[in-house]
Amino acid sequence: MLRDIQQLVGGGGMAGGIFFIIGTIFQVWMFVDALRRREYVWAVLIFLFSVFTAAFYFLMVYRTAGPVGALSGFELPGAADRRQIARLKADIHHLDKAHQHQQLGDIYLNQGKLGEAEKCYRAAYERDPNDEDIRAHFGACLARQGKPQEALPLLQGVCATNPKHDYGYTLMTLAEAQAAAGQTDAAMTTWRQVLALYQYSRARVQFAELLAKAGAKDEAIRNLDEVISDAGFAPKFQRKSEAVWVSRAKALRRMLG
């Protein structure tokens, strides 16, 4: 590194100073990266020789393997999803497997691209109509698009054999789809099934809303009070994720008196 400094300073002028700074930063960056990867031979070579050694390391190791450790924190938002999407599309082109279409659909669903997700899930379902993850996620996607009648057979089939699928989230989606389809009694039965297994605020609040509409005020209030009370003792990450349900619970509780 010292030789690089001498060469760059020897160039003189502002341009030489700029190249000195850039070259030194780059060489230190690659040196630290080599240490983090335990590429100790490369680290020694980068330290002892010129910035061109660092450039060779960048091309042969860093660019191929990508950032490591804390350096990955500088990745642009969505970059990992874009890489995963590109990889899955390539896999689908060559192999065309049901689980590849499902995984692509899962990414689009998480991004809120419901139309793209539906296409992927439909393709996955055509290739493997018996896979419960495919049916459950396909049904959830349809339900989120306001297509409960299409979603119900998929969700009912999964929940009939595995009510705990996806930690009860598929069962909750079934209850929501039933309510959206006007099947209030079926939805209430499903919510009771959910609450016999889990204590999700999402379930308690929506169940309470149906109870209130049915005139079961006292039972609705009990469920709402439990949501509001439990919120004060929940860990921080849970409070954040359930804030919308706690707000709905408080609003309905005020309405019920």
How far apart are the C-alpha atoms of 198 and 190, rounded to whole Å?
A: 12
- Verdict on whether the full-model pTM lies above 0.85: no
pLDDT score for 236: 80
pLDDT score for 70: 40
Per run of 10 residues, the mean pLDDT along the chain (length 257 residues) is: 47 63 87 81 85 83 56 51 92 96 96 96 98 98 97 98 97 98 98 97 97 96 96 84 93 94
Q: Is 56 exposed, middle or buried (0-12, 13-18, 19+ CB in 10 A)?
A: middle
pLDDT score for 247: 95
pLDDT score for 63: 65
Q: For residue 224, which of 236, 209, 244 has the smallest C-alpha distance? A: 209
pLDDT score for 56: 84
Those residues with Cβ within 8 angstroms of residue 252's Cβ, 6 or more apart along the chain or in another chain: 205, 208, 209, 212, 220, 224
Domains in the chain, CATH or no CATH each: 2-73 (no CATH), 81-180 (1.25.40.10), 199-257 (no CATH)
Residue type, 140: A
